[in-house]
């Protein structure tokens, strides 16, 4: 009886460990040419078996198996069978999929919520998805209803209630109902973030507010979205960061710089990428050939032709593999 109790206790411990291992975010990794998923501690939770794998969203992840895309859940079970030519991540309960060269959307149960009929379709954001019909862009809602008719030559995703669009030679922003504010003499180049959107005038980049008023005069050679209160800007060949008033918080000094996420931003110096904090301190020294932004505590990095993950202190969570 004592021996049986020990065996049962051991079995329960293993089950508890396995359950804990599967809790929390999962991250795609490439090993021996196949994709699987690790947890935040670097333990393999879903064994490498897929030709391609995207991040989890709404508890599901798109994977490619035998040249077809489907969706797995966090236990590795194929929740939506692999039958699509292509699949995107879930957003607002919908995931874009391609069947017979047309794009539609599935719900989390795998049902075609919006029949494939588009040449192009984006992820949903604020209840709207950009779609292309006969060469023009418009927007549908999550039921598939065309709420903003196709009329634009370019259309971006909604954020903070606005989307950047182009109609002929006129750039502007539309609201969720399609009402357009034309930016006379300006080209919009980014979404609104922190109440500001990047625009270009005469080859220089600046920022407008939600009313269309110039908040930061165009004086940068290039600029990107605000993220966590800072925006990447390019002056000459150097990259740095400004705040919402346009002041240089981290003067241009890098060969390249990305947006801030979770308090850190990847920058290139001396041909390698490292990570700085919001005052410009190099927290993780440059040693990566490519570095992505931090998401859910980890950052995806590349050294040579191998990919891995590091945490916010620069510690290796998953040593680069391929």
pLDDT above 60 for 7:
no
pTM of the model: 0.89
Predicted confidence at residue 189, as pLDDT, reads 85
The DSSP 8-state label assigned to residue 24 in this structure reads S
The 3-state DSSP class for residue 8 equals helix
The 3-state DSSP class for residue 7 equals helix
Mean pLDDT of the 237-243 span: 98
Mean pLDDT of the 191-207 span: 96
The DSSP 8-state label assigned to residue 110 in this structure reads S
pLDDT in tens, 167-181: 999 999 999 999 999
Please, what is the average pLDDT of the chain?
A: 93
Mean pLDDT of the 25-47 span: 98
- pLDDT band for position 14 (cuts 50, 70, 90): very low
Predicted confidence at residue 23, as pLDDT, reads 65
pLDDT in tens, 66-107: 999 999 999 999 999 999 999 999 999 999 999 999 999 999
pLDDT above 50 for 18:
no
SS3 content of the chain, % helix, strand, coil (to 5): 5, 60, 35
């Amino acid at each position: 009886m004592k021996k049986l109790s020990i065996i049962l206790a051991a079995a329960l411990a293993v089950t508890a460990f396995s359950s804990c291992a599967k809790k929390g975010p999962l991250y795609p990794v490439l090993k021996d040419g196949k994709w699987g998923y690790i947890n935040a501690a670097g333990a393999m939770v879903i064994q490498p078996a897929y030709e391609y794998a995207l991040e989890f969203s709404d508890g599901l992840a798109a994977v490619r198996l035998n040249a077809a895309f489907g969706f797995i859940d966090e236990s590795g079970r194929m929740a939506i069978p692999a039958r699509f030519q292509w699949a995107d991540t879930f957003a607002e309960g919908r995931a874009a999929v391609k069947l017979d060269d047309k794009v539609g959307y599935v719900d989390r149960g795998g049902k075609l919520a919006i029949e494939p009929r588009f040449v192009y379709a984006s992820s949903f954001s604020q209840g709207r998805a950009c779609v292309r019909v006969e060469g023009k862009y418009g927007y549908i809602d999550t039921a598939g209803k065309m709420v903003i008719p196709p009329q634009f030559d370019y259309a971006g995703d909604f954020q903070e209630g606005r989307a950047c669009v182009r109609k002929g030679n006129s750039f502007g922003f539309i609201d969720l109902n399609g009402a357009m504010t034309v930016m006379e003499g300006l080209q919009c180049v980014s979404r609104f973030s922190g109440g500001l959107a990047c625009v270009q005038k005469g080859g220089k980049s600046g920022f407008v507010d939600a009313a269309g008023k110039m908040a930061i005069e165009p004086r940068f050679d290039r600029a990107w979205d605000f993220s966590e209160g800072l925006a990447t800007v390019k002056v000459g060949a150097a990259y740095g960061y400004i705040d919402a008033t346009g002041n240089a918080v981290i003067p241009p000094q890098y060969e390249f710089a990305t947006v801030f996420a979770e308090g850190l931003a990847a920058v290139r110096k001396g041909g390698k990428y490292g990570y700085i904090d919001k005052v410009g301190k190099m927290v993780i020294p440059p040693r990566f050939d490519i570095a992505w932004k931090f998401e859910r505590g980890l950052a995806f990095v590349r050294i040579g032709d191998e990919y891995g993950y590091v945490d916010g202190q620069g510690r290796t969570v998953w040593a680069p593999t391929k």
